[in-house]
Every structure is written in C-alpha cells, then in structure tokens.
Structure 1
Amino acid sequence: MTGGAGSSHRRRGRRASFAIALSGAVIAAPPAIAALAQPVTLEAALLQLAARTGGEIVSLEPGLRTIRVEPPAPELSLEAALRRLLRGTGYRAERIGARSYRIVRVAERRPAPRVSPPPGEQASAPDVIVTASKQRVPLLRFPASITPIAPQDAPASGPTSALGDTVRSTPVLQTTALGPGRDKIFIRGIADSSFNGATQATTGYYLDDVQMSYSTPEPGLALVDVRSVEVMEGPQGTLYGAGAIGGIIRIVPNPAQLDSFHAAIAGSGAMTVGGRPGGDLSGFVNLPVSRDVAAVRLVGYRSHDGGYIDDPLLGRRAINAVDRVGGRVTLRVEAGDGWQVDTTGLGQRISAGDAQYVDGDGRELTRATRLAQPYWNSILLGRLSIRKRWAGGLEFVSVSGVSQYDANDQFDATPRAAPGTIGYVTTRSNLLLTEEVRLSRSRANGESWVVGLAVLRNRDAENRQLGPLNDPTEIIGVTNVSQNVSLFGEWTRPLAASLSATLGLRATEARVDGYPSLKPRAGDLVRGRMTRRIDPTLALSWQLAPRLSLYGRLQSGFRTGGLAVARGIGRVAEFKSDSIGMGEIGIRHLRDGPTGVNFSAALSYAHWDDIQADLIDRRGQPYTANIGNARILTGEVSADWVPVPRLRFDLSALYTVNHVTDGQRLPNTPPFSAHSAASYSWGAFGGTMRTSGAFDYIGRSVLGTSRYLDLEQGGYAVLSARTEWSRRDLTLWLSADNITDSRGNRFAFGNAFTLANGAQGTPLRPATVMLGFRIER
C-alpha cells in the first residue's frame, strides 16, 4: 500500500517500497478515513493516519501487516499519533523531511503482538493503490498500462520544469515543439496532427481531478511543488469521457498540510553554449490556519529560458527566449465527520520573444524572417473538491472546475517579393466549465465499484487577422460551444482468489454548436450534430504470483465533431466525430522489498475511425478535416532494477507501427523511442551525494499525413547527467543536458506561410549546464 510520486514502483532505489501519502495523489491513501473502533494492522493504521494528516510515511519493513494496534484518536497531530501507534511495537519513526517519516525497527526489538496472515498470504511489500481509476485498485490488479513520471528525478530537470520537459525521457509520450504552452502531447502514438485548431485534444490534461483543457494545447504548467504526475494510457472513455482517446495526464500538486508550518525555496542558473543565460526561482509556504482543521498552501515561481537562435535578417541574437510566471493557492478544510473540502486557484502566463524554429533541418541555429513572431498564452483555473468517506469504504466525491485559456500568436506571412511586411495574428479564448459527482466503494475482498455523473461546457473562440500589423484585415474565425452530459459506472469483482473482472459503461450525450466569427450574431449559429455514445470497458486481471500479474482490456473512446475553418479564406465547414477501439494485454511485476526488479510490458492494437485533424494547406491557411482511418500496433516495456540499496537502473521503450487509410503514417509517432538511466547515492561531507545519468533516443517520425507534410523529423539521441548533495534541509545540484552538444530536428515546422519555401526545423537546445539549490524547513 503506497502513495506519493505517481506509481511509486518506479521510485529511486533509496526510497522506500512502502509509502503512505496524502490524499488526492495519483497513488495515495483515500482522504478523511475515520478512525476505526476495532484494532487494525499497523500498516492499515499508518495508511489512515497519512490520509487524515496529509503526511508521508515510508518503510522498508515487511512486518507491519502482522502487528495489530488501536488506531489513535483523530484529533492527534501526525507526530503525536505516530508516537501513540508505535509504542510497544518494536518500531520507531525517523523524521526525513518536514512532513515525512520513515518507520524502522528498533535495535533491540521487544516481542510484538502478532496475528497470523490469512491462508496463502506472505508478508511482502504492501500494494500500490491507483486512485486515478476513481476506485481504490491495487496496482498489481489494475488492468491497464499506467506510467508514473518523477520530474524531480530527471537529470536535466530544474525547479520550474514543465510537463513538456519530461517527454524526452518518457517514450510513451510524444510532442510537438511550437513552444511552451502551445504544444500537443500524444500518448502511445494516438496522434491526430501537428497543428493547433478547433478539434478536441486526444489527451486529457488534469490538475488533480479537474480537467484543465478541452481543445487547447497542453498549458505548459511548471511542475512546482507537485507530488506526482501520472500517465494513464488510453482510451479512457469509460472513466474520463470524450477527449481521452489517447489517455490522460494527471498532475497532482501537494495539498495544504494541516498540522505544521512548512516552506521551501529553490532556484537555478543556466548557461547554454552559444546562447544567453537563464534561470528560475520558486517557492512555497504551507500555513496551518487552525491546527488539524484548516491550512493554506501558497506557491509561486518565475523562470527565464535564455534564447539560442539568431535572426541575421532582423539583426537580432538569441531571439527565442521564453518567460514563465505563475502561482497557486490551495486551501484544505477538515470539516469533521469525515468531510474534507479542498479549493485551488491557479494562474500562469508564458511569453516568448520569437518563434522556436530555424531554417533548414535544425543543425544551424539561425533563421531569416522579415517580422518577429512573438507569442503569449495564459491559464487561470479554479477547483472545488468536496469528499466524504465512511468507515465501510464508501466515498462520495464532488469536483467542480473552471478553466480560462487565452493565447495570442503572431507569424511572418510576408511573400518573398513583397515590399513591406505581412503579419498573421491569431487570438484564442477558451472557457471550460466542468462538474463531476461520483460515489464509490472498495471492499477488503478486492471488489470495488464507482458510479457518477459528469457535465461539461466548453466555449472556444478564435479570431484571425492578416495584413500589415498597423492595418490588418480580419478573416473568418470560429467559435464552438460544446456541451456534454455523461453517466458512467465501473465494477470490479473477484471471480476467484487470483482472478478478477472489470465491467464499465459510459453513456454520453454531446453536441457542438458553432459560430463563424469571434463575435457571434444570432443568425450566424450553425447547429452541430447531436452525438450519443456508449463506451464500454471489459478487463480481466490474473495474479499469477504474489508480485506478478497478467491483464487484458478492451475499451473505446471518441471525440465530438464541430465547426472549423475550411479550405480557402473565409470558409467554414463541419467535421465529424471520430472514435477509437483498443485491445491490450500486459504483464506487471513489482519488487518485494528494497531491492529487486519492477517490470511491466504491454501489447496493444487500436482501430481509429474518421480521424479528426487540424491541417494547413500550401498557402499556409489552416483547415480541419476527417482524414480517414488508422490501425495502430504498439509494444511497450518499462523496468527499474535495484540490485543493491542506493543503486538503480531504469529502462523504458516504445515500439509502434501505424498506417492511415492512404498508406501514410500518423504524425509525431516514431517507430521506436527509448530511455535509460542510472543513479547511485552515498554518504559524503556529512550528507548524501547522488549522481545520475540518462540516455534518450527519439526515433524518426513525420510532420503530417499528407504528401505535402511528409517531412522527416526526430532521429537523435541526448545524454544528460546530474549530481546533487543534500544535508538536512539544504540541497545543492549541478546538471548538464545535451552533454555532447547533439544537433537534431525535434519538430519540422514553425511557420505555415514559409513552409513551402524551404525546410524548417526546431533544434535541440545546445549543451546546457545548470547549477541550483533548494532550502526547506
């Protein structure tokens, strides 16, 4: 039973194999578990304590399941409750952080009260719990692929690294590279197009349990004070509805902690070969308002990525610098009787002085344009979560969310022989409202179920202008209003001691109404089609051994249709809904104890019909169309091996084969990508030293499915390394990214209006050295 950083079977080796972490994490204890009147195992009591207080408790001791204790009184603080729980058990708590403890055996352990394990059960590492399933399903019995991401463990990561910075080391993810805040991220090769437009995203992005976006790019949130990031591979139509045909990415921030003050500050400086310096600064403060009742957590950050691309025609150097500033406020209230209320407010703005592409294949870091191409985007998000959990395992959850995304992009559309300059400017505004209410229950025998109602409304408006920047002409844009109501349910039932089945169903009614302008008039309404869908799930999980399982899954998903810009200036057209069906088989092994191997592998086959795609024509104008059907075969593997404590090796890889109707390949889906890493830690200078290195390979892919867009990209490798030293509340670190100064084309696009004039490429950042610190108390 573990919680914390994603599916913690991929934690670094020096971390414990048993962790109980605060509620709301991707793999975490459920919130607000009332104290039980009857004695429970020490492991269960620690799980309840971590859920109630928001602390983290880790242990390598396998005997916690064999000791029975009386749960502590719910009004006790984390420290006091730990003392009460461990009294006379032969174990003690070591403080390893402001809100973190390690449970260890005392040197001379007194006999502890024991209970015999159930027949056939052996004392072993506790189960990891996957709460992204909206039930409490142990990872070993979870019948689907799930990939945790630990941004802080990446050798090249900094205090304000974003989701896009982790894609290179996560082969199941693929991405475009237009710049932070306007990229698309794909999961396991479910990629529709390289361009942004009106279509719903193939990937669902969530902050905790609130959807952040609908048809907009990945917002580029800085992963500051984030407990875990989890990739739940799709389709996830039953639990997450339309727009999760590729899967979901769930970012879980640290919630407010109720019983202690906690603060941290982190910063770094970076130097890039041939570029300008950069740096970032971030911090958070956790303030209990009323001890064990209410607390607030404040997060803030600012970063500057120095540019490294020159434009000699404009006479400017290092034009592609990017600035990011943001913050988050979280309030938690324990209202009593098992009720818990969490509210979150978030804001972030990204601005760039120019585009991220160069002329050619990305080897030369120069571009010649007649007009600068700056952009900015921002996101504001609000979240309200209300939970109630009863002692019998029944849990009620209500989650409300509102998200506002705004963006402005400028491109150079000047023809070669034109005497002046022509600009193309797009302005986008997206408002997303969501509400989900669900009831779930998990039983000790492995049975679990969830039923819920979800409502969504999204308004996406785009305005376009073309011409001289001082006197542009407005050309037609599109405003789509999407409305979606769903009922869903999923039930997992043991069929035998080692075999369980999962059945699920989601019934959805959705429609999209469109307006062919940014400022709609009543007569401009274009009523879309009503979409009614039933998306089922059927899955089996077979536990072959205490730490080994096999699973199979059948699932479907869809995206709604809508109104979009059509071929030719001044036209709009409807595009149809698309759908996907997938079958998957996989195997998973979790290590038992601090050393050993975690391993997972999966093989999947997907049939994707009427693919929606945002495209561009040879004149640079955007349009949306259904481009045909695709067949996608994918194999993936992930493993981490801890041969001895403090030494860890990681390996993950993805292989995929796909074909669209006309024989073309899906965009941004390399046939093969891989990641490998190693880390080792040891005592040094009165603290702990840790060094790590990583090697990433990104295979070759294409920009788009048409012959015009059949442009090659990818096919490069990157080496990075990191060394950090920690002592008490201080951490110092030094990292180097792209150590060999490798040159490669991450993305073969930057400007639709000049693509026909010659090759474009988005280069790797040249060799970069970062020096950073973190102080916490």
Structure 2
Amino acid sequence: MDVSAGTLGRMLPILAAQTGISVGFTDPTLLMLPTRRLRGRYQAGEALARLVRGLPVRVVRIDAVTWRIEPAPRGKSPPPHRPAPPPPAPAEPALALDIVITASKRPAIERTYPGSAFVIGGADLSAVHAGQGTAAVLARLPSLSSTHLGPGRNKLFIRGVADSSFNGPTQATVGQYLGEIRLNYNAPDPDIELYDVRAIEVLEGPQGTLYGAGSLGGIMRIVPEPVRMSDWSGKASAGLSLASRGQGGGDLAGMVNAPILPGTIGLRGMAFHTVAGGYIDDVGRGLRNVNRTQSDGGRAALRIEPGNDWSVELNGAIQNIATADGQYAQRPLPKLERSNVIAQPFDNDFLLAGVTIEKSWGDLKLLSANGAVRHKVESIYDFSPDAAHPTAFVQDNRIALFTSENRLSRHRPDGTGWLVGVNVVHDQEKLTRALGALPDPPRIQGVSNAATQGALFAEGTLALRRNLLATVGGRVEVSRLVGEALDQQPIGEIDAKRTEVTVLPSLALQWTLSGRATAYARYQEGFRAGGLSQTIAANASIARFTGDSLALYEIGARLGRPGAGRFDASASLSYVRWETIQADLVDMGGLPYTANIGNGRIFSAEARGAWRPVRRLSIDGAIAFNDSRLTTPAAGFEAEEASDLPNIARLSGRMGLAYSLPLASRWALSGAANLRYIGRSRLGVGPELDLRQGGYFETNAGVRLVRGRLGLSIDMDNMLNSTASRFALGNPFDVAKGLQVVPQRPRTLRIGVDVDF
C-alpha cells in the first residue's frame, strides 16, 4: 500500500481504492486536514488509523468495510493507533465523501465553494463516454455549449460568454487544463478523450485571478487518475458501434499501472483508438458517408517520490484527430446530404509534455507545473465556383505554447488559507491561408501572433465570523504582444508590438447558513489579449484587434450535499459586463477576418437539483437561462445594437436518471438515461450571419452488467433518431445563403466490454 502526502479529501479515495473500504465524514471541513505519506503492508483499519494519526479526529468502524471519521471530542488526545471494534448492532451508514474541487488551486469542498462549479467523477464515465471526449461533458452541463463544427475543431463556451462561431487568431474563452498543465491558448478545443480520468472539473464564470488571460467564460480541468506507486493494475475496453444510417464504428483502449520501484517510482500509461463512422452523403461527388472521424493517442505519467514528501511527475500526451470531410448537410437536398466539388478534410494534431514538482510541509504546499504544447490544426474548404474549376481554401494554424506556474499555498480545515504564485506563458501562433487548386494551392496571406505574459497572483481566505468566510485575490499580468504579416506588407500604420498591463481583482463571501445550506456572493474579472488579423479581399490588409475584458457579479446558494441524503440543489444569478468583444467573423463572401464588435452584457440564471427517492435510484436535472445583448456596437456594427450575442441559447436544460440493482451470483446491473434540450440562438454577428439554430433535444441511455472485474454494456445515442440541426455552419463560403445544417448523428448503438486486471 502506498498513499502520498496530501489532504484527507485527496488521499482517502486513493486509500479506499487500494483497500476496498468506504469512508464517510460527519464534518466536511476535516477533508482539508493534512496527511503524511503512508507506505507499507497494513490491514484496512490499521492503514486508516495510521493515515489520520496525530490529527484531531477519531475513526469509528461501522461494519466490515465501512468507516466514519469524526472530530475528536474536545479535551481528548488524538485517536489511538487501532480503531474501535465494530458495534454489536447495525449502525447508520457512512456519509458520502464531499466532492473536493482542486481547480481552485487550494482544495475546496464543492458545496462551500464561493462560485459555480461542476464536477463529473471518473466513475460516472463509462467507456462510451470516455471515447466521446468533450461531448460527454456537454451532455451533463447545460451551461457548457459548443459550436458543433466537429471533433477537434469546436469552440467551447460557458454560461453564455460566446464570441463567434469561427476559428481564428482570438484567444479561447474557456481555459482547458490536463492536471496542472494548460492545454490551449488560441486553438479550438483539443477534445481530449476521457479515458483513465478521475474527474472533470468545470468552474463557471471568469477566473482571472487564478488563471489569467483566456478564462473569460471559465475553466475546464481534466484530472487524470494518479499513478499508484505500489500496485500493479490495468484495464482494457472495446466497443462496436452500429448506426441506424451510415457507417458503424468502434473503440479500443487500454491502461497499465506499473510500480517500477515500489513506493518510489511508478508509471501509468494509456492508449486508445476510436472510429466514428460517417453519415453524410456528398451527392456532388457521388460518395456516401464521407465524414468519418478517427482519433488515436495516449497519455503517460512517470512519478518519482524520493522521500521527505517530495514528488516529481513527468507527463506526456499525444492525440491526433482526422476527419475525412465536413459534417454538414444542405437544404433543399434530402436530410444528411449535400453537394460539393472537393473533399473538406480536417486534422487536429496535439502533443504535450510536462513536469510537475510538489513538496509538502504539513498544510504548506509548494507546486511547480511546467508544460509545452505543440498544436497543429488544418482545415480545407470547398471554394470552387463550379465543378469544372475545383478550388480549395486551406487554413493552417500552428501553435507552440509554453507555460510555467510556481505557487505556494496553505489551507486549513476551517476553509481559511492563502496562496501566492508566479505564472509565465509564451504562445506563438502562425496562421497561414492558401487559395487555389489542390494539392498545392498558393499562399495568399498569413499572420503570426506571439504573446509572452508574466503574472504575479495571490488569494487569501479569512474568517470574518464563525459562519462567514471572505476571499480576496488579485493578479497583475504584463503581456508583450508581437504581430507580423507573413506573406505581404500590411497596408497602413499598425502598432504590431506593444506591452499591456492588466490588474484583475476578485472578492468572494461564503456563508454557512445551516448544516445543509450555504450561500455565496462574488466579483471576478477576466481578459484576453489582442493581436493582428488579416483581411483577405481585393484590398487585402493586416489589422489590429484590441484585447477585451469582462467583469462578473454573482450570487448563489446550495442546499444539501451532492450524492448524500434524499435531495440537494443549487442556484445562481449573475450579471456580466463585457467590453470591446473580440470576434472571428466572415464577410459576405465567406472570407475570414477578426474585429472588436463593441460592448455587451449577459444576464444568467442557473439551477440544479438531484432527488434520490430510494437508495439505488437518482433523478437529477439542471436548467440554464441566458439573456445577452450587444449594448454598444463598434463602428461598422451599428445595425447589431440590442441584438443577441452569437451562440448563446436563451434556455437550455437537462434531466437524468441513474439506478443500480444487485443481482444473483455476484452480478450487478446499473443504468442511466439522459435528456438534454439546447435552445435557439443565432450563428453570428452581421446580417449575413443572422441565421437561427438550435431548438432540439439530445437523448441517450445505457445499461451495464458487472460481475467481478468484467463489465458488459449497451449504450444508445440519439434514441429518437432525430436529424435536427445542431448548428448552421460547415463551409463559411456559402453559409450566408442559409442552406447549411449540421444534423445530429443518427441513432447509434454501442455494445462494449471492459475488464480490470
């Protein structure tokens, strides 16, 4: 057995996984207590007692596999080495562990976190969900939305902070992380497959104090399963997908955890291969099912624990997504059909390397996270005037991203604590475009944008009263921006090199109203740096777009504990003021450019709840409402005054059901079903993009049969076999005609098997 130093909230799930026990709490603040490393051969009870030795708690045994940790009685010494014997009569069941949010950079209990947060546990991700990447998160969270251009080319938006439908030089509004390493800057969603993941954490609203530029809408953090330093383990899964119309597909994944030097060096690796069959027919070329997508990749982590509560972890990830053609159809052709002259393939190649170093001194923790990302995104669009003159528009975006963050933090069981850190980011983007006949169309124009940012940030939480905590933070960020025209000299005077200083304050209050109810209020800011963009037309030129900024005011409340008791719920209200909004756009001819479209505001309301009428049945739901406006349009966009911001659905919602049922002969059955509604929105800014989209339902359900280490599953997506349009864009060069649709994937059945070893 080997459990690293950390906190009870972080280490107990690892201990539980290694020993097979279940541990609950009577006081969730105990989750913040620091623990030392535990290594050796122990029985479950002895291991638990050693883990909490010296802490102001006592361990109570409920039954053979269930334990409870509670505060030690006042005036008494810490608990003895051995837990109390089992009670003579059955006792109350252990309480569920509170969900701990680590994206806050100091462990925070979800139900007392002063902001909107959502956590999907890795145990809730079946093999079919893991192979869907970000789509699995979208299905669970109404406030998270996507442009649905296709795997690896989507933009993500949280809570209505959406700039445009197109990919260009603007920075993403959602910051994405794999563990402590940043994944993106100004690229589309890398759509990391979610195999071997412990949790996905989503922090809603701007996170400027802790995360800096590029977190206007929020943060999505993937938490991988940790390396187990003493136990060999593995897992494999395979599935076959059958579609009601179009091609089938499949997926294959495997994971191995190997203690190279038990207790000191451990290695964990994972690899996968997924294929999603095509379902769009191109009648112009006489081809069927043209939009097949293949994704291949893997991750690896080498962890070294030399002793004295030091740890070093080397991480690597690679993922390549290749889609053979666009996934859109055209009216008035039959559903799932369109007509083109050439293929429109897409590739997203992603490579990451990182190193994370940690050191603990009780409740004081030092962390250094450093990462490098290479990202290549290439798209080809049909620009042909007619069948006799096949012409391609090629956009190639190559990104090199380096990040380094070093921070020192202290957190205490009562929720107070502090952190201070230094962050450095360097992003180099080279965006080129070509137009002409394949295979080698001539370059027409391109730009390079480089951003180097350094920041000092700090945050602290103190108790104003016994039930009232205040969190104050701030960030000072200096950005050095350098732009360059690649293929021709720009027309006009442009400040291509500049330095910007940004100050981002934050304030939050969190009240504990009772044992089951909490409330919070917060103020937070975010920003994105500017850059250069190109206009591709007869008067081709380079233009500068400025940075944009956002301020959020939010209040919220929670009742109950997620996963415990009969009922829990949360609700929030927020107002966002967004200034000099950046947007990647296309003109009437479909040619891309980037501009600041003006100032806007967003009102948001969100509510979630879960009900467990009986022990093995859970019903949950969520609803999100957004009201957005472009309040002060920039020059050239005056006609858009009081118009909705693009891609922001006024109403979205979700309802889910999950159950489990023990069967005879050590078999167990579980199942889940989900219904999601995505409301109506518009495609983009300007009369040529004022196209309506959305207003559809997504449905899926699955069952899983488990016996020991073996699992069998059946899952179905789009059970109603709907062809409703999710989006109104595939090829920007004829989108203004209003004939494009992006239909839902036809009903798809997956039959899968997985095994632990």
TM-score (structure 1 length as normaliser): 0.87
Residue in 1 that maps onto 2:81: none
RMSD of the alignment, in Å?
A: 3.1
Alignment of 1:516-535 (within 5 A): 516-517=485-486, 527-535=496-504
Kindly state the Cα deviation for residue 666 of structure 1 after the two structures are TM-superposed.
1.4
Give deviations 1:59-118, integer Å, cap 9, x for gaps: 365569999xxx999563375564444699663897xxxxxxx5358xxxxxx9994269
Residue in 2 that maps onto 1:727: 707
For 2:73, the aligned partner's letter is S
- Output the CA distance in 1 between the equivalents of 2:486 and 2:443: 10
Label 1:593 to 1:667 Cα distance change in 2 as closer, same or farther (>3 A).
closer
- Output the CA distance in 2 between the equivalents of 1:232 and 1:702: 25
For 1:585, the aligned partner's letter is I
Relative to structure 2, which stretch is displaced further, 753-762 or 311-320? 753-762
Higher RCO structure, 1 or 2 (CA under 8 Å, sep 6+): 1
2:28 matched to 1:59? no
Label 1:361 to 1:270 Cα distance change in 2 as closer, same or farther (>3 A).
farther
Residue in 1 that maps onto 2:673: 693
Residue in 2 that maps onto 1:643: 613
Residue in 2 that maps onto 1:454: 423
Label 1:731 to 1:361 Cα distance change in 2 as closer, same or farther (>3 A).
farther
- Output the CA distance in 2 between the equivalents of 1:694 and 1:235: 28
Alignment of 1:385-396 (within 5 A): 385-391=356-362, 393-396=363-366
Name the SS for the 2:590 alignment partner.
Answer: coil
Alignment of 1:449-598 (within 5 A): 449-470=418-439, 472-517=441-486, 527-566=496-535, 568=537, 570-591=540-561, 594-598=564-568
Residue in 2 that maps onto 1:116: 73
Alignment of 1:188-207 (within 5 A): 188-207=159-178
Residue in 2 that maps onto 1:670: 649
For 1:666, the aligned partner's letter is L
Kindly state the Cα deviation for residue 588 of structure 1 after the two structures are TM-superposed.
1.2
For 1:529, the aligned partner's letter is R
- Output the CA distance in 2 between the equivalents of 1:596 and 1:636: 21
2:255 matched to 1:323? no
Relative to structure 2, which stretch is displaced further, 202-211 or 462-471? 462-471
2:110 matched to 1:139? yes
Q: 2:398 aligns with which of 429, 453, 471?
A: 429
Relative to structure 2, which stretch is displaced further, 462-471 or 259-268? 462-471
Residue in 1 that maps onto 2:224: 253
Give deviations 1:161-207, integer Å, cap 9, x for gaps: 20134313310101011111110010000000000000111110111
Label 1:56 to 1:479 Cα distance change in 2 as closer, same or farther (>3 A).
farther
Name the SS for the 1:140 alignment partner.
Answer: helix
2:597 matched to 1:627? yes
Residue in 1 that maps onto 2:40: 77
For 1:689, the aligned partner's letter is L
2:234 matched to 1:263? yes
Residue in 2 that maps onto 1:772: 752
Residue in 2 that maps onto 1:605: 575
Contact 2:367 2:408 in 1 (8 A): yes
Residue in 1 that maps onto 2:80: none
Contact 1:152 1:158 in 2 (8 A): no
Kindly state the Cα deviation for residue 130 of structure 1 after the two structures are TM-superposed.
2.3
Contact 2:12 2:23 in 1 (8 A): no
Name the SS for the 2:137 alignment partner.
Answer: helix
For 2:452, the aligned partner's letter is Q
- Output the CA distance in 2 between the equivalents of 1:444 and 1:721: 40
For 1:671, the aligned partner's letter is R
Contact 1:598 1:639 in 2 (8 A): yes
For 1:648, the aligned partner's letter is S
- Output the CA distance in 2 between the equivalents of 1:22 and 1:568: 63
Label 1:84 to 1:270 Cα distance change in 2 as closer, same or farther (>3 A).
closer
Kindly state the Cα deviation for residue 733 of structure 1 after the two structures are TM-superposed.
0.6
Label 1:54 to 1:736 Cα distance change in 2 as closer, same or farther (>3 A).
closer
Residue in 1 that maps onto 2:741: 761
Contact 2:142 2:622 in 1 (8 A): yes
- Output the CA distance in 2 between the equivalents of 1:405 and 1:32: 34
- Output the CA distance in 2 between the equivalents of 1:644 and 1:761: 43
Contact 1:60 1:593 in 2 (8 A): no
Kindly state the Cα deviation for residue 467 of structure 1 after the two structures are TM-superposed.
0.8
Label 1:560 to 1:132 Cα distance change in 2 as closer, same or farther (>3 A).
same
Residue in 2 that maps onto 1:108: none
- Output the CA distance in 2 between the equivalents of 1:64 and 1:540: 21
Alignment of 1:117-516 (within 5 A): 127-150=98-121, 153=124, 157-360=128-331, 364-391=335-362, 393-416=363-386, 419-470=388-439, 472-516=441-485
- Output the CA distance in 2 between the equivalents of 1:443 and 1:764: 48
Residue in 2 that maps onto 1:742: 722
Name the SS for the 2:497 alignment partner.
Answer: coil
Label 1:51 to 1:84 Cα distance change in 2 as closer, same or farther (>3 A).
closer
For 1:714, the aligned partner's letter is G
Contact 1:311 1:367 in 2 (8 A): yes
Label 1:560 to 1:93 Cα distance change in 2 as closer, same or farther (>3 A).
farther
Contact 1:664 1:706 in 2 (8 A): no
Contact 1:156 1:736 in 2 (8 A): no
Residue in 2 that maps onto 1:614: 584
Label 1:435 to 1:155 Cα distance change in 2 as closer, same or farther (>3 A).
closer
For 1:59, the aligned partner's letter is S
For 2:179, the aligned partner's letter is D
Give deviations 1:485-519, integer Å, cap 9, x for gaps: 00000010000110011100000110211111179
2:680 matched to 1:717? no
- Output the CA distance in 1 between the equivalents of 2:462 and 2:275: 51
Residue in 2 that maps onto 1:9: none
Contact 1:689 1:724 in 2 (8 A): yes
Number of aligned residue pairs: give it.
719
Label 1:473 to 1:600 Cα distance change in 2 as closer, same or farther (>3 A).
same
- Output the CA distance in 1 between the equivalents of 2:98 and 2:426: 37
Name the SS for the 2:697 alignment partner.
Answer: strand
Kindly state the Cα deviation for residue 620 of structure 1 after the two structures are TM-superposed.
1.3
Label 1:716 to 1:610 Cα distance change in 2 as closer, same or farther (>3 A).
same
Label 1:581 to 1:567 Cα distance change in 2 as closer, same or farther (>3 A).
farther
Kindly state the Cα deviation for residue 598 of structure 1 after the two structures are TM-superposed.
2.1
Kindly state the Cα deviation for residue 301 of structure 1 after the two structures are TM-superposed.
0.1
Label 1:125 to 1:304 Cα distance change in 2 as closer, same or farther (>3 A).
closer
2:5 matched to 1:32? yes
Label 1:405 to 1:278 Cα distance change in 2 as closer, same or farther (>3 A).
same
Give deviations 1:279-318, integer Å, cap 9, x for gaps: 0000100000111111000100001000111011101100
Kindly state the Cα deviation for residue 323 of structure 1 after the two structures are TM-superposed.
0.2
- Output the CA distance in 2 between the equivalents of 1:510 and 1:369: 44
Contact 2:265 2:302 in 1 (8 A): yes
Give deviations 1:97-151, integer Å, cap 9, x for gaps: xxxxx5358xxxxxx99942699xx997664432211113333331100012347
Q: Alignment identity in percent?
A: 36
- Output the CA distance in 2 between the equivalents of 1:221 and 1:447: 34
Label 1:478 to 1:328 Cα distance change in 2 as closer, same or farther (>3 A).
same
Structure 2: gaps spanning 5 or more residues: 51-57, 77-91, 632-640
Contact 1:363 1:743 in 2 (8 A): no
Name the SS for the 2:446 alignment partner.
Answer: coil
